[in-house]
Structures are given as structure tokens and as C-alpha cells.
Amino acid sequence: MDSAAAAPHFVHPPTTTGLDNRKVAIWAFIGSECMLFASLISTYLIYKGRSVTGPFPHEACNPPQCAVALKPILNIPVTSASTFVLLMSSLFMVLALEAVENKGKAGYEGIRGSSKFWLMATAILGATFLGFQAFEFTSFVHEGLTIRTNLFGSSFFTLTGFHGAHVTVGVLWLLTLFAIDMRRGLGPKDALIVDICALYWHFVDVVWIAIFTLVYLIK
């Protein structure tokens, strides 16, 4: 380390686009993730209405198709609430990035400049969404829909489960940023690492909008 520190002018040439490498890479990653969710969503749509037994998402299942009469299983009001929570978390993410970028500037003294607050708030909303999902999954299991029950169960739990796993990674990422913020404080020169997390978070949010529309709203 000593000899390295003594060496002259350690400089990297500027990048070709002027963007940081990590920013380019996260966009490539998001492109890849689009194909991942596209495959999951198309499978769900292909298998829509093909289950031979209930419960079904939007239709009742009556004997003799099902042993007992089953109501449509999707609870749209509850999921609308959780969707709202996730959308709000994107807003908080924006505010967290703004707080990091403008730390120390006039007008960002109070809560507006508190990246700790906004990062934690985003993580809490993400965790709340996951709580809703856990509630939804357990109530479905109680109503007789598991991942093994029918095509709907398999494709629904896999699709939304994959999305939930992505939210979980995002929450851990936010908590990691929060921990870094607690230890040394995040300032304008850390804006990039928060920005990258934000891009991921917004992407996961956008995917949920697609899932909510295609799975829950369209009958």
C-alpha cells in the first residue's frame, strides 16, 4: 500500500460515454430482467383459463368441476392497497436519491435532506408490500390454492413469487445503503450507488404494474 500511495498520478481514462460503468451495466441487467419477467408473464397468460380444476382467479368453480363450490380467489381491493404501497415506495426512493444528491444544500436541512429517513421509509414500504404478499399467499393456501393445485396456482405463485423475491433483494439493498448511511453518511458523491439501487427499485415497481394489470385487473 505504501509503495502504491507513493506512485505518481493514479488516473483512469474517462469512460467513452461519460457514464459510470455501473450505470451502463445496470441497464444491461434490467434489459435481461425484462426477458425474465416477459417469459413468466407470457406463461401465465398462455395458461389463463386452462386449469382443469379450481380455484380460479376471476371465476367461481362449482361442482362437479370442483369438489366443493369455490369463489373467485383474487382479492382485488387488498392487492390494490399493496400496489399503492409499492407505488408510494418509488416516490420515497426518488426523495431518497434527491436527499443524497443535495445533501448540505440550502432547502435540504430537515427531513427533505435526510437520506436515512427516506431510505428506511422506502425499505419499510417494500417490506409492507411483502407482508401483503405473505398474507395473500397464506389466505390462498387456506382457500385451497397451492402451487400444486392447478395451472393457475403454479403460474401465479411462480410469477408473483419471483417478483416478491426481487422486492426482497431490493429491500436488502436499501437496508445496506441505510447501514452505509448510518456508518459514514451518504453525500452527493455517493449519488451513483443510490441511483443504481433506485433504477432497480423502479424497475421492480414497473414490473408489478404490469403484473397487477394483467393478472388482477383484466378478467
Partner 1 sequence: MAYGSNTGLWSWLTTVDHKRIGTLYLFTALTFFMMGGFEAELIRAQLQHPNGRLLGAEVYNQMFTMHGTTMVFLAIMPLSAAFFNFLIPLQIGARDVAFPRLNAFSYWVYLFGGIFMNLSWFVGQAPNGGWFGYAPLTTMAYSPLLNIDFWVLGLQILGVSSLAAAFNFITTIINMRAPGMNLMRMPMFTWMSFVVQFLLVLAFPVITIALVFLQFDRFFGTNFYTIAAGADPLLWQHLFWIFGHPEVYILILPAFGLVSEVLPTFSRKPLFGYPVMVYSGMLIAFLGFGVWAHHMFAVGMGPIADTMFSLATMLIAIPTGVKIFNWIFTMWGGNINFTVSMKFAIALVGLFTIGGISGVMHASPTADLQQTDSYFIVAHFHYVLFGGSMMGIFAGIYYYFPKFSGRMLSEKIGNWHFWLSFVGMNLTFFPMHFSGLAGMPRRIYQYDANQGWDTYNAMSSYGAYLLGFATLFLVYNMLKSWHGGAVAGNDPWGAPSLEWSIPSPPPDYNFAEIPRVSSRYPLWDVKSPELTTDVPHTREGEKRIDVDAAGQHVGGGKAIGNPAGASSGASRPTHVERNHKTAEELGIPMPYPTIKPLFVALFMVTMFSGMLLIHKDKLGLALAVIITSAMLMTGFLYAWLLSPLEPEHH
- Contact footprint for partner 1 (CB under 8 A): 1, 3-5, 7-13, 15-17, 19, 21, 24-25, 28-29, 31-33, 35-36, 39-40, 43, 46-47, 50-52, 147-148, 150-151, 153-155, 158, 162, 176
CA-to-CA distance for 95 and 192, rounded, in angstroms?
A: 14
- Least distance to partner 1 from the beta carbon of 157, Å? 8
Q: What residues contact residue 102 under an 8 Å CB cut-off, 6+ apart?
A: 108, 113, 188
The residue among 46 and 134 lying less far from partner 1, judged by its C-beta, is 46
**Cα 20 from Cα 206, distance rounded (Å):** 24
Q: How far is the CB of 33 from partner 1 (least distance, A)?
A: 7
**Is 112 in contact with 96 (CB distance < 8 Å)?**
no
Nearer to partner 1, 48 or 113 (CB): 48
| Minimum gap (Å) between residue 161 Cβ and partner 1 | 10
The DSSP secondary-structure symbol of 216 reads I
- Contacts of residue 54, Cβ cutoff 8 Å, sequence gap at least 6: 60, 61, 65, 66, 70, 144, 150
**Which residue's CB is nearer to partner 1, number 29 or number 108?**
29
- Looking at the Cβ atoms of 22 and 71, the one nearer to partner 1 is 22
Please report how close the Cβ of residue 12 comes to partner 1 at its closest, in angstroms.
Answer: 6
CB nearer partner 1, residue 14 or residue 110:
14
Q: Least Å distance between CB 180 and partner 1?
A: 9
Contact present, 199 and 29 (Cβ < 8 Å): no
Neighbour-count burial of 30, counting CB atoms closer than 10 A to its CB (0-12 exposed, 13-18 middle, 19+ buried): middle
